[in-house]
Amino acid sequence: MRGPLPPGLPAAVLFDWDNTLVDTLPVIQAALAETFRTYGRTSWTLEEVKRNVRLSARDAFPLLFGDQAQEAQRVFYDAFRARHLDALTAMPQAADLLEFLAGWAVPMAVVSNKGGPLLRKEVSHLGWERFFGSVVGAGDAARDKPAGDPALLALEQLGLSPGRGVWFVGDPDVDLACAHAAGLSAVLLRGTPPQTGEFATEPPDAHFTEAQAFRTAVEDRSGAVREPLPGHNVRA
């Protein structure tokens, strides 16, 4: 751990999307399986998908498919679009966490390596646009995660400056690297703690096993700072 997190409420919270706020790994696995079959490749297991899917398609597909990358992306996205909204599932307690942060008027954004238009469709499908002042996906900034560009773009759209008071929350290494590159606090949100040497160059500042633990940590900082907005029961 690098930590500790700065005192008080976060100045803003930037969330990763897949496997942080929503569970879309089965859909990604199915779309990748169709793509791999098209090119005579062996499909990945769900655990392999979780381990390997970190970069944006524009960065990952040239590594996977070489000269066929552009066509392989088309196959993947056609397969993904056909099923992603029907299978979109919020992670446990994610909606409650967003409501809680909104109650404390904490600015929020999504910063994902999912293509921007697809990402914004998913946010809209869940009715979560009201939570986020910015939704930045792959291709929206000059570079995708792990570069700091998309996080800085999100902060620009929120009208905020980067700094350790901004928490970047995600689960893969590219999220922590993005947070470090942008000068933000890096928060790991996943069930398992960091393994020895796992994040040697970009360690998290804090680790929470679930959304409720994250909420509790913020709530512990909130009482002496300011009152929640009217109409929000932040201790429900």
Q: Please say whether the beta carbons of 156 and 131 come within 8 A.
A: no
User: What's the confidence (pLDDT) of residue 7?
Assistant: 86
Q: How far apart are CA 180 and CA 5, in angstroms?
A: 13
**Residue 14, beta-bridge partner list:** 109, 168
| pLDDT cut 90: percent of the chain above it | 50
pLDDT digits (tens, 9 = 90+) for 168-192: 999 878 999 999 999 999 999 998 8
For residue 46, how many other CB atoms are within 10 A of its CB? 11
Q: Output 55 or 236, whichever has higher pLDDT.
A: 55
pLDDT digits (tens, 9 = 90+) for 28-61: 888 888 888 888 888 787 777 777 776 667 788 8
Q: Please say whether the beta carbons of 189 and 204 come within 8 A.
A: no
Fill in the amino acid letter for 205. D
Report the pLDDT averaged over residues 89-108.
Answer: 94
Contacts of 17 (CB under 8 A, 6+ apart): 110, 112, 114, 119, 122
Structure tokens at 49: 């998908």
CATH topology (fold) of 12-22+89-222: Rossmann fold (3.40.50)
pTM of the model: 0.80
For residue 231, is pLDDT > 60?
no
Question: Which one is the CATH code of 25-81: 1.10.150, 2.30.110, 1.10.3470, 1.20.120?
Answer: 1.10.150
Backbone conformation region of residue 147, classed left if phi is above 0, alpha if psi is from -120 to 50, else beta? beta
Report the pLDDT averaged over residues 148-161.
Answer: 98
User: What's the confidence (pLDDT) of residue 3?
Assistant: 64
Fill in the amino acid letter for 37. R
220-to-50, 63, 146, 203, 213 alpha-carbon distances in Å: 32, 44, 30, 23, 11
Q: Where are the domains of the chain?
A: 12-22+89-222, 25-81
Q: Is 45 exposed, middle or buried (0-12, 13-18, 19+ CB in 10 A)?
A: exposed
